[in-house]
Structure 1
Amino acid sequence: MSLALKLTLAPLLVAQALSTRRRAPVLPEAAGPRSGEIGDGRRLRLLIVGDSSGAGVGVPTQDIALAGYLSRTLALEARAKVQWQLVARSGITSAQALELVQSERPPRADVAVAVLGVNDVIDQVPVQRAVQHRAALADWLIAHAGVRHVVFAPLPPVHQFPLLPQPLRWIMGRDARRHDEALARWAGTRENVSHVPIAITLDASCMASDGFHPGEPVYRVCGEALARHIAITFPASETHP
């Protein structure tokens, strides 16, 4: 989309965004522990950093949110004792995620999963700046949390979000694709960073009640896909004893 067309539609887009925000229910972050241990075998320390999707907004408990599905599947696929920690907060951008981990100083980990990006799109963070923020997050995790590999989940297909009206849905979806494509290109230049594409179709049946956040089916698909990627690309020889 050209900038001129986006500017032309700006009054309508702002009105739609404000209306959508007013009518959308405010859902809580998933309840339950944000750290734990599961499985048997070699130790694999997992750190999950994220926004509302990382925090499990849309489902009642962490057990059926991303952290639950990711840690359980990883323990099975990697035949490992997974020690996991979740650092997430609803509404944060990639830049704010860095501030959050710097503040909380999570335990050292072997691998980190970052679930971020939708709020960068909402806040109209320029694509290259958002990539720079994710690079800064990855660099900090590697330098200060002992992380050997950072896995970035893809941005969701925002153009399929049931809550969003047209043309806001289409425009936000296009912006999200641009962010995700730039993230994938950047990750491809780094040996210690990866981007995991996940093919998924969204509709009201798999989304949360607000039509914006994931429901359990989405968390299950994404958690399992990320776990399989980690198990394949992060062999036992790369973990700490």
Structure 2
Amino acid sequence: MSLRVLVGCKRVIDYAVKIRVRPDKLGVVSDGVKHSMNPFDEIAVEEAVRLKEKKIAKEVIALSCGPTQAQETIRTALAMGADRGIHVEVPLKEMEHLQPIHVSKILASLAKKENIDLIVVGKQAIDDDTNATAQMTAALLDWPQATYASKIEKKDGTLEVTREVDGGLETITVQLPAVISADLRLNEPRYATLPNIMKAKKKKIAKMKPADVGVDTSSHFEVVEVRDPPQREAGVKVEDIDTLVAKLKELGRV
């Protein structure tokens, strides 16, 4: 059985950029700042493409929600080997209030529409670190889930997934269709070659709005203030253990 795979790829501020709070303290500076695909989503795309190369998957569809620039992120996924893209247009101003539940509903709706067998997303995005999209998507679809995947193997009609958990590694078997979230050690994403970047320009990207898949992205909260974390205070050097314990008691740490 060849799988149809839907993979999420979020456009985020590049990991190497130093984040700055906006003067109005209602968000972070994103204008004129380098953006790229969320690193965990890049791993998800790579894994989906590898499944296709192993003949386990027959089609890989890359999905991104966001402004016009999100198409660049989809093109990156297409250059890595995805077959086609879906761009769910969300204006830049509305992106600040787009929550994982909105994205999960979009993923779930498109999974039904496209007859998807497997959804693969990064375990979390580096901008909001929510780590909730995969779990909520699985709940909405009532599909099995395998989060924090560091290895995926196809068995007879099932997937055997090795998960990274607090106590080490856990191996589970999930029936298909399923939702998987990619952890850091699942693979090392490839660099898109120039010929594949050129080919990606000819691949199709379907455009739609959240309403087209029956999803209301209205905000349910208001940002009151965004601020930098407090500066870390300098440490204090102590001569011996007794002084250390005394200092810790003085600070109420022990």
Normalised by the size of structure 2, how large is the TM-score?
0.33
Question: If you compute each CA radius of gyration, which structure gives the higher value, 1 or 2?
Answer: 2
Instruction: Tell me which protein shows more helix as a share of its residues.
Output: 1
Instruction: Tell me which protein shows more strand as a share of its residues.
Output: 2
